[in-house]
Amino acid sequence: MMTILKKEIQTDLPSSISGILSSDLKNDFTPLISSAKKEYWSALGLPFPEDLSPINAESGSGEFYLSKGGNLFYFKIPGEKNRLECGGLLKNDGIQEFNQFFDVVSRSIQRELKTKELNWKSLTPDETFQNLLSYGTSLNPTKEEFATARELENPDLLHVLMNTQSLLSYSSRNLANLLEDRMKADSVLEKLVQAKLMTKDFVVLCKEKGQQIIKVASRQAIDETSQKGFKCFLCGKPISEENIEELLSATELGRKMIDKGYWMPVRILETLERLGFKNQDVIKEAEEDFFTLYFLSSGEIVMTATFPRKLTLSDAYTLNAKLSVSRAGIGIITSTQPVSAVFKEFLAQSNPQRPLHFLENFSNLEERFEQIIKTRQQEIVQKVVEPFTKFTSITLSDLISQKLFGGEEIKKTQQTAPSSKRGRGKQEVEEEKAES
Ligand SMILES: [Zn+2]
């Protein structure tokens, strides 16, 4: 996963700072914008002017660099000249190279301003995230929990486990009613037992009194008891003549997995790990009956809330508060139930600058998470790169005139050229206006 780091300094900078930085950086980092421009000059056989690297424009200046390790760095000075931003679009191991790049920029400015202290401010939310780290913890699920969380993506399994959990035990006849399908009930039960989320026991009930006489782990054990001539202690009939029922109970693991919907953050954590995030970099907050996860992606905090139930209006207020306190750049709200349009609209209206995503089930979870994170990453990269596009515009007409007529003669030529009266370009019209 890509990391984005941005730092900013606010101080009066000399107008020559862009040229100085590009000269100090060019040995270790490959400039992208001025290299591209240089191609035009060299193709035309013109000497490349030193001060064009990087490009100074009224709107500001800056340059993008490629490092040996394949990371991208930049510095950017907006028009007002008292602010400089330095940043990087980094691959996983790019931090070291970023520090190297940042060191060169920082030392050059210190030298030019003859100062030892520079007050750099981070523009990416490292500090907020550190705060979150201080009151949240990481999840650390066991292998077994990861595996069973995957099983609970199946809504039938989840439904049965959640409903039998509340009763602690349940006969399989009732389970069939719960799922309205006996065949399905058998296969769901088998899966739950296999996943160690539930256990299946057999009980013998007294036909007369309806009470439980014995409880054993297998059907075979009942047959053995019966063969040994055991009789019901309530009514005295042979065991074989009493009712035999299957009894389902949630295991300790099963109860843990559905407590506050614990399986949901576990499942999301597994997804995030597959996408390259580390367990210890994902912060968990447990509420009364749901979880919130926070992690850094593309230089912003992503907040994910997991609800094992229907969302209510009071959840919307809670989520708004959490999004705002955590300064999340984007929110992903997951639920096992459909989310109402009113709820989505309310949350979207309260967060106009913040993209929000709603996942109303966990099918294709990995693909959907990846899609959300990658789309956001592209948006953010675009936002970083966009200001540089105006530095790359090549005034090709000037260059060609320079090639054809030489630097000093351009204006004179344009004024006297007969062709300028007919197909006049926009630039020439503007120049005439400026002169009159
Ligand atoms: Zn009996």
Residue range 29-52, pLDDT digits in tens: 998 888 888 888 888 888 876 655
Ligand 1 center to residue 123 CA distance, Å? 75
On whether both 164 and 104 belong to a single domain, the answer is no
Ligand 1 center to residue 246 CA distance, Å? 17
State the pLDDT at residue 344: 96
The arithmetic mean of pLDDT across residues 228-233, rounded, is 88
Q: Is residue 280 part of a domain?
A: yes
pLDDT band for position 427 (cuts 50, 70, 90): very low
State the pLDDT at residue 414: 45
Ligand 1 center to residue 143 CA distance, Å? 45
Residue 318 identity: T
Could you count the other beta carbons within 10 Å of the beta carbon of residue 266? 25
On whether both 73 and 9 belong to a single domain, the answer is yes
Percent of the chain with pLDDT over 70: 85
Ligand 1 center to residue 178 CA distance, Å? 28
Range with lowest mean pLDDT among 30-39, 234-243, 402-411? 402-411
Ligand 1 center to residue 164 CA distance, Å? 26
Ligand 1 center to residue 199 CA distance, Å? 25
Ligand 1 center to residue 177 CA distance, Å? 26
Ligand 1 center to residue 210 CA distance, Å? 8
Beta strands in 59-218 (DSSP E): 60-66, 72-78, 83-90, 121-122, 169-171, 198-205, 212-216
Ligand 1 center to residue 150 CA distance, Å? 43
On whether both 56 and 162 belong to a single domain, the answer is no
- pTM for the model stands at 0.79
Q: Is residue 129 part of a domain?
A: no
pLDDT band for position 429 (cuts 50, 70, 90): very low
Which of 46, 53, 47 minimizes the C-alpha distance to 21? 53
Last residue of some domain: 250, 267, 288? 250
Ligand 1 center to residue 396 CA distance, Å? 100
On whether both 330 and 230 belong to a single domain, the answer is no
- Contact by Cβ (8 Å): 258, 162: yes
State the pLDDT at residue 124: 87
On whether both 426 and 381 belong to a single domain, the answer is no
Domains held by the chain: number: 4
On whether both 416 and 380 belong to a single domain, the answer is no
Range with lowest mean pLDDT among 181-190, 210-219, 339-348, 421-430? 421-430
What tokens appear for 194 in the block? 């296999």
CATH number of the domain residue 272 falls in: 3.40.1350
Ligand 1 center to residue 182 CA distance, Å? 28
Q: Is residue 7 part of a domain?
A: yes
Is the pLDDT reported for residue 430 higher than 50?
no
Ligand 1 center to residue 163 CA distance, Å? 29
On whether both 245 and 267 belong to a single domain, the answer is no
Output the CA–CA distances (angstroms, integers) from residue 56 to 78, 389, 392, 396, in the order listed.
10, 13, 10, 16
Position with higher pLDDT, 95 vs 388: 95
Position with higher pLDDT, 425 vs 119: 119
State the pLDDT at residue 421: 41
State the pLDDT at residue 419: 43
Q: Is residue 145 part of a domain?
A: no
Q: Is residue 429 part of a domain?
A: yes
Q: Is residue 148 part of a domain?
A: no
Ligand 1 center to residue 181 CA distance, Å? 31
- Mean pLDDT, the chain, rounded, equals 84
State the pLDDT at residue 318: 96
State the pLDDT at residue 413: 42
On whether both 181 and 78 belong to a single domain, the answer is no
Ligand 1 center to residue 227 CA distance, Å? 16
Ligand 1 center to residue 186 CA distance, Å? 28
Ligand 1 center to residue 169 CA distance, Å? 21
Ligand 1 center to residue 231 CA distance, Å? 8
For 326-348, write each residue's pLDDT tens digit. Answer: 999 999 999 999 999 999 999 99
Ligand 1 center to residue 212 CA distance, Å? 9
Ligand 1 center to residue 226 CA distance, Å? 13
pLDDT band for position 354 (cuts 50, 70, 90): very high
Could you count the other beta carbons within 10 Å of the beta carbon of residue 301? 22
Is the pLDDT reported for residue 424 higher than 60?
no
Ligand 1 center to residue 242 CA distance, Å? 6
Give the CA count within 13 Å in the CB-facing half-sphere of 175: 32
Ligand 1 center to residue 237 CA distance, Å? 6
Is the pLDDT reported for residue 435 higher than 70?
no
On whether both 212 and 283 belong to a single domain, the answer is no
CATH number of the domain residue 72 falls in: 3.30.160.110
Output the CA–CA distances (angstroms, integers) from residue 207 to 201, 233, 238, 244, in the order listed.
19, 12, 11, 10
Q: Is residue 221 part of a domain?
A: yes
Range with lowest mean pLDDT among 48-52, 188-192, 409-413? 409-413
Is the pLDDT reported for residue 316 higher than 50?
yes
Residue 406 identity: G
Ligand 1 center to residue 425 CA distance, Å? 105
State the pLDDT at residue 431: 44
Is the pLDDT reported for residue 422 higher than 60?
no
Ligand 1 center to residue 176 CA distance, Å? 26
Ligand 1 center to residue 243 CA distance, Å? 9
Ligand 1 center to residue 130 CA distance, Å? 65
Could you count the other beta carbons within 10 Å of the beta carbon of residue 217? 10
Domain span including residue 65: 3-124
Ligand 1 center to residue 165 CA distance, Å? 28
On whether both 307 and 382 belong to a single domain, the answer is yes
Q: Is residue 222 part of a domain?
A: yes
On whether both 89 and 178 belong to a single domain, the answer is no
State the pLDDT at residue 371: 95
Last residue of some domain: 250, 279, 294? 250
What tokens appear for 89 in the block? 């679009």
- Contact by Cβ (8 Å): 2, 298: yes
Output the CA–CA distances (angstroms, integers) from residue 334 to 238, 338, 357, 358, 405, in the order listed.
53, 10, 8, 6, 66
Ligand 1 center to residue 2 CA distance, Å? 68
Ligand 1 center to residue 185 CA distance, Å? 29
Could you count the other beta carbons within 10 Å of the beta carbon of residue 116? 6
On whether both 203 and 294 belong to a single domain, the answer is no
pLDDT band for position 190 (cuts 50, 70, 90): confident
